[in-house]
């Protein structure tokens, strides 16, 4: 069965510091991978999408970037965090098939101070 | 107009009650529909995919009305453990993008 991992689970970072969040998927090959952010009391905002190694689509221009160095690894980064980057960061993968269901990792809760 | 709209609630219902949520979507090309459940400070978890003919899973029933562009979720015999936020999600066939509603909060009261 497929499993999706994210780490760290929680993170507190000062404004201006760098960021690296990692997501890995097990049990499937060539998954479509997503990064979302959920701000407090808000809906999920799509940040990045990837169909394969080195292929990244950005939905929201901002100080975040994503990379996919391996088939089942997806990394979210920032060189300098802003207060507005605080939120719940979720990685997801989707099945291929008629319904293309998405499954989420446990998330990383980021607080920027 | 938002692409996916949900009543934020909260819906406060007693244990054992039946409760229904609706979700409207604006893009008629939307093809796949889902209900997710999200507990406080946790990731969303897939509850049901919504089939064109409607589908049922135990106490949960999902319906799709393409003509009126809405999907619904019916929960029968509510349990305390059903308390959560329910997210409506739509996906246009052939695209990678999923549009999430902001969720409907359900509180089941003892």
pLDDT for residue A96: 75
Closest Cα of chain B to A44: distance in Å? 6
Closest Cα of chain B to A27: distance in Å? 18
Q: Do residue A101 and residue B34 have CB atoms under 8 angstroms apart?
A: yes
**CA dist list (Å): A108 to A4, A39, A113:** 13, 12, 16
DSSP string of A6-30? EE-SEEEE-TT--EEEEEEEES-SS
Whether chain A has a CB inside 8 Å of the CB on B49: the answer is: yes
Residues of chain B positioned with their CB less than 8 A from the CB of A104: 43-45
Pairs across A and B, CB distance < 8 A: 44
Which residues have a Cβ under 8 Å from the Cβ of B42 and sit 6 or more positions away? A106, A107
| B105 → chain A, closest CA residue | A41
Q: Do residue A100 and residue B42 have CB atoms under 8 angstroms apart?
A: no
Q: Look at residue A61 and tell me whether its pLDDT is greater than 70.
A: no
pLDDT for residue B96: 87
Start-to-end C-alpha separation, chain A: 38
pLDDT for residue B54: 87
Q: Look at residue A107 and tell me whether its pLDDT is greater than 80.
A: yes
pLDDT tens digit sequence for B54-100: 899 999 999 999 999 999 999 999 999 999 999 999 998 778 889 99
Q: Which of B45, B49, B103 sits opposite A99 (nearest CB)?
A: B49
Q: Give the mean model confidence (pLDDT) for residues B4-13.
A: 94
pLDDT tens digit sequence for B16-48: 999 999 999 998 787 889 999 999 999 999 999
Q: Structure tokens of A81?
A: 């965090």
User: Please, what sign has the CA dihedral across residues B80, B81, B85, B89?
Assistant: negative
**Range in A40-44, A63-67, B11-15 the model is least confident about:** A40-44
Higher pLDDT, B101 or A100: B101
DSSP string of B62-75? EEEETTTTEEEEEE
Q: Look at residue A41 and tell me whether its pLDDT is greater than 80.
A: no
Closest Cα of chain B to A78: distance in Å? 22
Looking at every residue in chain A, the average pLDDT score rounds to: 92
Q: Give the mean model confidence (pLDDT) for residues A62-69.
A: 93
């Amino acid at each position: 069965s497929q499993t999706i991992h994210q780490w760290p689970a929680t993170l507190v970072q000062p404004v201006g510091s760098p960021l690296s969040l990692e997501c890995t998927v097990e049990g499937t090959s060539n998954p479509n991978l997503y990064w979302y952010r959920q701000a407090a009391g808000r809906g999920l905002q799509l940040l990045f999408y990837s169909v394969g190694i080195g292929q990244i689509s950005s939905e929201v221009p901002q100080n975040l970037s994503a990379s996919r160095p391996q088939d089942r690894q997806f990394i979210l980064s920032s060189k300098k965090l802003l207060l507005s980057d605080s939120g719940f960061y979720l990685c997801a993968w989707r099945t291929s098939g008629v319904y293309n269901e998405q499954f989420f990792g446990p998330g990383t809760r980021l607080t920027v101070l | 107009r938002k692409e996916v709209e949900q009543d934020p609630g909260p819906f406060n219902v007693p244990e054992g009650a039946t409760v229904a949520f609706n979700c409207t979507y604006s893009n008629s090309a939307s093809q796949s529909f889902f209900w997710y459940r999200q507990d406080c400070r946790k990731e969303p978890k897939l509850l049901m995919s919504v089939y064109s003919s409607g589908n049922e899973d135990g106490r949960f029933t999902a319906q799709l009305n393409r003509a009126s562009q809405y999907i619904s979720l019916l929960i029968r015999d509510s349990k305390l453990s059903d308390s959560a936020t329910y997210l409506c999600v739509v996906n246009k066939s052939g695209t990678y993008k999923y549009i999430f509603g902001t969720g409907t909060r359900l509180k089941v009261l003892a």
